[in-house]
Amino acid sequence: MSLTGEIALVTGASRGIGQAIALALGSQGATVVGTATTDNGASGVTRLLTERGIKGHGEILNVADNESVDALFSRLGTDTLFPTILVNNAGMTRDNLLSRMKEEEWDSVINTNLTSLYRMCRVCARSMSKARKGRIINITSIVGATGNPGQTNYCAAKAGIVGFTKALAREVGARGVTVNAVAPGLIDTDLVAKLSPQQREMIINQIPLGRIGYAEDVAAAVVYLASPGATYVTGETLHVNGGMYMG
């Protein structure tokens, strides 16, 4: 499982699932570049990696902005830190019933959660194909497969990630680049912490493994897909949901 010598770029790495992924990849020897949308967030990523003895640092990135993406890759190219592993984790929600949803709420979620993959992967797929080596891992969601009321924008974006993943996997496979997705179920993040005990119990009753997942569960799946052990796995979506959804 060693990732020594690899350079992992993880978007949305300042907290939650992204942070767990950054730490897990770093613990296996990868140099980690973790992104956040603010100076404080990027500094926090650098500080955490240093505290854990992981090579790497934080960078500012807005995945919804072309100029921000271009600037990041320009900096990484200059510092010879061009990624061999790309994890597209950054995302957002703007929940509303479709009948009440503003066009801006739709556009912002699609742009941040789906169009960002076009921006990030277009650059990385080119460099990885040239090197004939690379791993692209896209974080989707259980709701991309099941749907969820009040989240038509989010569900559409997450379902789109699955199709994007399959198409890109076919495009770059002959160049030794794999492209996969990880679909978390209900994970113990800030959002889940706001649920009442009754809500948590109701949800847990729907999960065969009888518990809410942890960010580290998702990170372990990402590490596997980034590892030499997953060389022959591409175009797949790995569901990490305790059996809540079985596709």
- Res 59 pLDDT > 90: yes
Checking if the pLDDT of 46 tops 90, the result is yes
Active site residue 154: yes
Containing 104, the helix (H) or strand (E) segment is: helix 103-110
Length, in residues, of the chain: 247
| pLDDT band of 213, cuts 50, 70, 90 | very high
Angle between helices 16-27 and 39-51 (to 10 degrees): 40
Name the 3-class secondary structure at 91.
Answer: coil
Residue 246 domain flag: no
- Choice among 154, 214, 232, 245 that is catalytic: 154
Average pLDDT score, the chain: 96
125 lies in a domain? yes
Domain with residue 59: its CATH number is 3.40.50.720
* CB 56 within 8 Å of CB 62: no
Q: What is the tens place of the pLDDT at every residue in 107-165?
A: 999 999 999 999 999 999 999 999 999 999 999 999 999 999 999 999 999 999 999 99
Residue range 72-113, pLDDT digits in tens: 999 998 878 899 999 999 999 999 999 999 999 999 999 999
Question: Is 132 inside a domain boundary?
Answer: yes
Would residue 99 count as lying in a domain?
yes
CB atoms within 10 A of CB 227: 18
Residue ranges making up the domain that contains 22: 7-187+215-240
Establish if 229 belongs to a structural domain. Answer: yes
Q: Are 147 and 245 in contact (CB under 8 A)?
A: no
Pairing between β-strand 85-88 and β-strand 56-60 as defined by DSSP bridges: unpaired
DSSP designation for 187: B
